[in-house]
Structure 1
Amino acid sequence: MSKRAKIILAVIAIFFIVALIWFGKKNKTNIIQYETETAFTTSIQKKTVATGKVIPMEEVEIKPQITGIIDEVFVEEGAVVKNGDLIATVRVVPNVASLNSATGRVKSARLTYNNAKVSYDRTKKLFDKGVIARQDFESSELSYNNAKLSLANAESDLEIIKKGSTSGLGQTANTNIRATASGMILEIPVKKGYQVTQTNDFNAGTTIASIADMTKMIFEGKVDESEVSKLKEGTKIEVSLGAIEGVKFPATLNFVAPKGTEEGGAVQFKIKANVTLDNKYFIRAGYSANADIILESKDNVLAVKEALLRFDKKTEEPYVEVKVGDGFERRTIKLGTSDGVNVEVLSGITKDDQIKIWNKASKDEEKIN
């Protein structure tokens, strides 16, 4: 064989080898190795989080029974008081019109009393001498007693307007503001010298102090309308406080509002839950809190990771790809409860099926699916 023929054969052989290497690499890049996982049995809980705050179960506002000026405050916020303890005193500032009217009634009642007394004394002397009949004497005596009572009432009314209370009846003076419940003083919005108004049919009155039992706290929050239908009174929940990290307090749902309020385009419903406190922590009224509420719970169900799911673009039905031989077969599945990581599988696959993990799929494969 000539030298030229050998060179040609060598060139052909080189091109052949290069072509084989190129085709081999091309075929190799088209082969995608997928890993697989199987379904598993687990417990799934669907939860929601309600935001709110922790407040006392009962909070009592102390209001005065008279209008006046705060003369002295005897307690501070945070103090523990008992029912009947003195909180503050009020100095009465009489209303000029009421004072003038009451003074006039006293003067009129005294004139009537003086006249009745004179008449009574005269009648009694005549009755003692046997000049007049008993009926005339008793009539005069009745008039005298009525005038005496009217004078006493008018003087009592005048004393109440001046001092806020009246002596001789054994009652607590209205100027002494006392606790009407036992608990902790949460707030005292007034100070010495503040003017306060009494509670009446047309005015709620000035709040002198608010008292609450800090050993009985509730969680008050709101949930969305899409979740409220799944809530039931008596459901156990967990409350976490922003001020106390890493601690969850057990609570029991005891109220779900029958009417919602619209906030930001969504309807929210108020909920309340009794919180079981831990004596190691002092819970202050108004702490911001979150409540973890279990909406649905299922035990020992077949589930897969949500990352394995794909959804048909037309029907939006969920499906997975199961390994069959050397390839994969598409399986439409029916889903149940999801916790955001795992989802219950009602039908479509078994526990032994090898499910494709999509994290190594090529872009071309994603486009096809």
Structure 2
Amino acid sequence: MSVTIEIAGLPPERIVFAPSPLAELGTALHTLSEPGHHPGVCGWTTAVNAGLKQDLADRLSEADFLWRTTFSDVLLGFAGLRDASAQPGETLADDLDILDRLDDEEFVSASLEFTCSTLYGTPQLRSPLSDPSMRERAMELASARGPQQRQFTKWLLDDPPAVRAWVRRLFEDCDEAFFADTWNRVRFQLTADAREKSELLRRKGLAATLEAVSPALSVDEAGTRIDVDKLSSARTTAVDPAVGAGVTFIPSVYQWPHLLVLHRYAWRPVVHYPVAAPELPGPTSVDQFMLRMEALAHPMRMRLCRHLARAPYTTGELADYYGLSSPEVSRHLSVLKKASLITSRRRGRYVQYQMDLKVVARLGSDFLETVLR
């Protein structure tokens, strides 16, 4: 499973690394609303949430579905402009001005992403602003999400300019309350990371650059597509002449464990990635994680793990203890070893097996990182 970005014929200069104040604000808001996803910054989330004035906290709650359960594409609005040169702004005000350039239909469609009102990544031929049946469908789906979402959707469909002004004011108030200080603290790190990746792209090419961004990113041998290892499948293109060729990579301090890919139809793709830090574990591939879960799903292998977690054992010892044949035990050990859950070492004519405790200890965080990536 992966998200694929077609890049055949994409000029190297159209692969851009750039920080985005609005994207980082969106990530910060998600972190504040879902601190359990981001244990590494719990001190920051606690301090900011404690310092929010009640009015701002209430307004953030009214719209938190734009960043809590989905990362709304309005936070990456530059990618929806029919202008290949459009990139994130230098300041939050710049990014908000760029967002204002989207027409109402694009803004509404991107804002309603949380309702799953369209099959994401495919054409939406009719707008809920002009088509009664699409409006009814959008309201129905929003209602299923909850009364708050239904109220917001109705307001958005009735008066898009008013909602757009409300959202902009909300983000500006966040900037005044806490984000300006946050951005001043992280922007140099993000700018440095973007500059480093741009230089790496120039010197060593795309494959090495993607590896430096995240082990979950790769390019095929022909250099025609970027694959993003995620627990989902989708395709998009960075060479659509209708919207302009290009793919943008946006670093984020608060992003881990998420690795987001904007693959909206008729928008340029964006990869929103966490800046690497020594304390952050590297992502396990989706296939490898699923292999480990499947290996542990068998009751006998779970029982074998009880011994292997305590000390090294030979196949014969395990066979004697559990009353199994040596070939049967060997088959179970082979599955566990293929999943990198156990290690082996030779002691004379015997081979001993033992659980890799570091790998097993990470299964919980690997699960979280895999499903949230």
- For normalisation by structure 2, the TM-score amounts to 0.20
**More relative contact order, 1 or 2 (CA 8 Å, 6+ apart):** 1
Structure with higher Rg: it is 1
Which one has the bigger helix percentage? 2
